[in-house]
Amino acid sequence: MSDDATLAARVRTASHLTGTFLLRSGRTSTEYFDKYLFEADPALLAAIVDQMVDLLPPGAEVLAGLELGGVPLATLLSQRTGLPTRFVRKKAKEYGTMRTAEGGAVAGRHVVLVEDVVTSGGAVLDATRVLRAEGAIVTDVVCVIDRSEGGRERLAELGLQLRPLLTRADLDAAAG
């Protein structure tokens, strides 16, 4: 089994749930990949991030982890690459700095969004709009899982290239 297939099997085993789940997009699904289950396993998280390093495009200057699942990924990627990281909230903090993007300025910098699972791409599109409004150059998104449910196409409409570590097909193949 290749390293990619082994990692897909590990991620699937750790995070694949069946039942009825309401997704952020408003759709329901009979399957769910619970990112907190693979992010909470330090050995698996390290293996995931080690492979995600190769997904980063040339010229990346800043990583931006999306609340909440993208934050541990971006933090560990930052540690591995030396790139600074920012943290993008779902909505602006209502006290203190009152910011949506935390951790420093992004204006004029090539920011790579870091996400856990992309389904419809809604959270990534929201974060892109916020960062671009602050002057960031955002063209790339790295994620652990692309559920292959239209997210890639929606992101492309905003000029974003999705760079997934694993796709739904990879996870299905790992099911054997």
Mean pLDDT by runs of 10 across the 176 residues of the chain is 88 96 88 94 97 98 96 98 96 81 95 96 95 97 96 97 97 91
Please give the structure tokens belonging to residue 148. Answer: 């292959």
Q: How far apart are CA 115 and CA 144, in angstroms?
A: 7
Per DSSP, what are the bridge partners of residue 112?
Answer: 63, 140
From the CB of residue 16, how many other CB atoms can be counted at a distance below 10 Å? 16
Predicted local distance difference test score (pLDDT) of residue 90: 86
Q: How far apart are CA 172 and CA 160, in angstroms?
A: 25
115 carries a ligand binding annotation: yes
10 carries a ligand binding annotation: no
* pTM of the shown model: 0.94
3-174 under CATH 3.10.129.10, yes or no: no
Predicted local distance difference test score (pLDDT) of residue 1: 63
Per DSSP, what are the bridge partners of residue 156?
Answer: none
123 carries a ligand binding annotation: yes
Per DSSP, what are the bridge partners of residue 85?
Answer: 63
41 carries a ligand binding annotation: no
90 carries a ligand binding annotation: yes
170 carries a ligand binding annotation: no
Predicted local distance difference test score (pLDDT) of residue 100: 85
Please give the structure tokens belonging to residue 129. Answer: 């709009």
Q: How far apart are CA 126 and CA 72, in angstroms?
A: 19
89 carries a ligand binding annotation: yes
118 carries a ligand binding annotation: yes
Contact 165, 55 (CB under 8 A): yes
